[in-house]
Chain A
Amino acid sequence: MSTPVDTAASTPPETAAPSAGGMTSGAPPWWERWGDRLNPLVVKEVRQGLRTRIFWVCFGLMLLACVVLSLIAYVNTREAQYTRSGRYYFFAFFVCLGLVHFFVIPYNAYRSLAREREDETWVLLVLTGLGPRRILLGKVASYLVQAALYASAVGPFLLFSYFLNGIALPTILAVLSLGAAWLVFCTVVGVCAATLAGGRLTRGFVHFLLLGTLGAAVVYGLVAAFAMVEAGDRLLGDDDFLYAVGVGLALMLTDGWLLFETAASRLALPTEDYTRGPRRALLTQVLLAALGGVAVWWAEGKDHTVAEVFGIMGALHLIAVVLFVATDVDGLARPMRASTRPWSLLRPGAVRGFRLGVLLLAAWAALWVGLEFMSPRVPDRGMAMRMVTVAIPTYGIFYISVAVLLGRMPRSDRLSSPGALRLLVMAVVGLASSLPPLVAVLVGLDADDGLFNLLNPIMGAANFGTYEYSSAGSKMSWELLAFVVGVTVLAAFAADRVLVEREKRVHAS
């Protein structure tokens, strides 16, 4: 019996099998050498995808719809000297492509990775040394290749619509470019959603959630495309539109990257530095957002409102992300322990995730409140907005700290898992938001009483941001805010100590 041992580096055994798949000996052709450089998953997934029924059914139906639409366009326009119906036909062709690009492709990408997880073949992939990032990249890329195949079929029809008049080439290019960005983002979301599914119940939930999300993505993509087609060139010359497109693309890019890295970390082995990718993506996102925000603030004449909007919206976004970063598992794998320093905040472990989250939220608040102070024209509500810019990140840190204390301080591990801790944060925030107004009403005070709701994350933030025109001043004072900040510092310190102790315990065991 011939064996595979040592044949990798030497000649095949004498009894080697006849060539499989039309293989030839000698130097491989250029396309094969080029193919060797491709991500193996792209080769496999495209081969696999082109054999599936769903690909050919969608491809056939899309092509048929486009042909029918073209015939209708031909019949409607052959009599007329000049029509401006091109834009409607373009949109109709785009609908055919959009349904596939914004729904079928992301959903298939999701299913593909979900099946790897269900069948545990992803374990085999990880063991090959491909690494989770290359696995995910391969999945996304292979579905984008399939999307390109669909697009190549619809491409001539889209171009045909240009010759029907009524739509300019820049508009066509803009719609297609934004559509491509939306496709990439939706595909990344689909692939990332597949890494969420653990148990059967979660899988079912994620599945239906994704179906709903992709349905909404189709509607959003098509409505946006229709608006652009309708407005035509006017929109492309509008600064506000370009500004909105820039923000949208930046969000898609940075959030897409963050989601991608988070998904890769979920597929990583416990011995790997699984948090480096997502935490680096988060840091980059925060830095880019800060730089972009400062640039806009500067360009708009150091407008106080710009600092307010960036400060508040950014803090809310950051709290949502920090919720995941700060609730990592305790400790880190043995190979990494020796080289991990107190400032190695990108390394795995709840204590480093928590510290990174607290630092980011504090820095974010400091940056924007600083810019608000530096703004030359301060509106009447300026002081209140400065307080709320500080209050929102402070509440975020406070409630994450409280949940960490509740979940991880007891020696029992019942509530200490990352998932349980996130639920605990939500539960604590829910209670803290709903109970104080109720109690305030019961004791005969206003539901939004400032003192009663001092630690209420929603009502409290609203109170800090309230400017009372009657008294021409802020509803809350800096002293009260300082109290909330003080309590938060104590809670964060206590949570940090708890996490440090737990890490020591984990490493000692």
Chain B
Amino acid sequence: MSLLQVKGLRRDFGSLRAVDDVSFTLEAGSILGFIGPNGAGKSTTLRILATLDVPTTGEVLLDGHSLVDAPDKARPLIGYMPDRYGTYDDVTVFEFLDFFARAYGLKGTQRRERVESVMEFTGLTPLAQKLTTALSKGMRQRVALGRTLLHDPRLLLLDEPADGLDPRARIELRELLRALADQGKAVIISSHILTELAEICDTCAIIEQGRLLATGKVEDILQQGGGSAVAPELTVRLAAGAEGDAVWARAERLLLEQPRVVHVAREGEALRVRLELEPGTGPAQVDAAAAVLLTALVSAGLPVCSFSARERNLEDAFMTVTKGRVA
């Protein structure tokens, strides 16, 4: 049985339907990226999953406990990190974690060990006596994550965890989350920054206007969306040499004459070629189309030194299934 089962979740605020018939499941040890534009219903869904709000209809089961009917039983299994760090002024890192450990009911030696263990895991031990206000954003994010882990939850709900972090802090956060998933925790990360999710998540759920448009692996979502809205792109580099512009112009003209090529643009020392393919076109057909172009270029005696196709990613999946509407 899945650790988390969300069935037909709906949340109305007056006449506004913020979440509409959202259903998905999540296994222990997996990371789900919850993606959607601002106002799509991500935070509302997360708040319901965190037992901070109740759905108008629908059911959520966490390890068999209903979040709606028995939130008290499910709550200890949930670690929720809102989009704000939620740290206090004039409190050291140790005091902050110690306070929340007390609040979770941990006592004496058990509490100290737990706080030490969490600080060690999040790399906060050297900063234990520093005031939280003196920390960088990345470190404060770690403190917040540490707080989320204090009671050893099985499901982590992270709302925009990497927002405002520098690249290093993002990479470190990614490693921490991967380690947590390896320990068997299920993680849901809500974000609208797709690049950060693409590298962390095993599966994605794309939500728009409160409706879940697609769930699954990125490739599966692209398949679900028909795969035609985003044209595959090819990058061609030429060893143009002294003839320079003339070679680039010839290549551009030649490419535009080829079937399925809809756009060619020179970007620095490369040509960006966009193809239009029929709905449902698979990777094999894309490869075939690329081969035709490469053959044409080489046959025309153009000095091709690099020819590559960009792999479709989470951004493409997102663009495939969403329409840019807000609830």
Contacts and interface: CB of A to CB of B under 8 A. Distances in A.
A16 B115 CA distance: 10
A75 interface: no
Contact of A127 (B52, B54, B56): B52
Interface in B12-54: 12, 14-15, 50-54
B107 A48 contact: no
B117 A12 contact: yes
B117 A2 contact: yes
A120 B116 contact: no
Nearest to A506: B56
Given A8-B106, A125-B103, A3 B121 contact: yes
Contacts of B207: none
Nearest to B93: A20
A124 B86 contact: yes
A48 B118 contact: no
A413 interface: yes
Given A129-B76, A129-B104, A413-B14, A47 B91 contact: yes
B106 A119 contact: no
Interface in B118-168: 118-121, 125, 128-129, 147, 149-152
B75 interface: yes
The CB with the most chain B CB atoms within 10 A, among A2, A48, A126, is that of: A48
Interface in B181-229: 183-185
Given A333-B54, A334-B69, A128 B14 contact: no
B68 A17 contact: no
A124 B99 CA distance: 12
Contacts of A48: 88-91
A121 B120 contact: no
Contacts of B184: 5
Contacts of A5: 152, 183-185
A81 interface: no
B63 interface: no
Interface in A380-421: 413
Contacts of A28: 108-109
B307 interface: no
A152 interface: no
A2 B121 contact: yes
Interface stretch (B77-85, B262-270, B282-290, B317-325): B77-85
B114 A7 contact: yes
B105 A2 contact: no
A310 B169 CA distance: 66
Contacts, number: 159
Contacts of A36: 102, 107-108, 111
A139 to B, nearest CB: 13
Contacts of B91: 44, 47-48
Nearest to A509: B56
Contact of B179 (A3, A271, A335): A3
Contacts of A317: none
A47 B54 CA distance: 35
B299 interface: no
A44 B128 contact: no
Nearest to A26: B109
Interface residues of B, number: 66
A219 interface: no
A259 B15 CA distance: 32
DSSP class of A's interface residues: helix, strand, loop or mixed?
A: loop
B272 interface: no
A334 B115 contact: no
B70 A127 contact: no
Contacts of A27: 109
A40 interface: yes
B295 interface: no
Contact of A121 (B71, B86, B107, B149): B86
Nearest to B87: A121
Contacts of B152: 4-6, 8
B281 interface: no
The CB with the most chain A CB atoms within 10 A, among B82, B112, B183, is that of: B112
B99 A120 contact: no
Given A13-B120, A52-B90, A269-B71, A18 B125 contact: yes
A234 interface: no
Contact of B119 (A11, A20, A33, A413): A20
B272 to A, nearest CB: 41
A4 B56 CA distance: 36
A92 B232 CA distance: 83
A48 B90 CA distance: 5
A374 interface: no
The CB with the most chain B CB atoms within 10 A, among A5, A28, A40, A128, is that of: A128
B117 A13 contact: yes
Given A11-B113, A48-B88, 12 more contacts: A4-B118, A6-B152, A40-B102, A40-B103, A44-B95, A120-B82, A121-B86, A123-B52, A127-B52, A128-B104, A334-B69, A509-B57
User: Which 7 A-B pairs have CB atoms at the shortest separation, nearest pair first?
Assistant: A17-B125, A40-B102, A20-B128, A128-B103, A51-B90, A44-B99, A7-B117
13 contacts: A4-B152, A5-B152, A17-B116, A20-B128, A40-B102, A44-B88, A48-B88, A127-B50, A128-B103, A129-B76, A129-B103, A269-B71, A335-B70
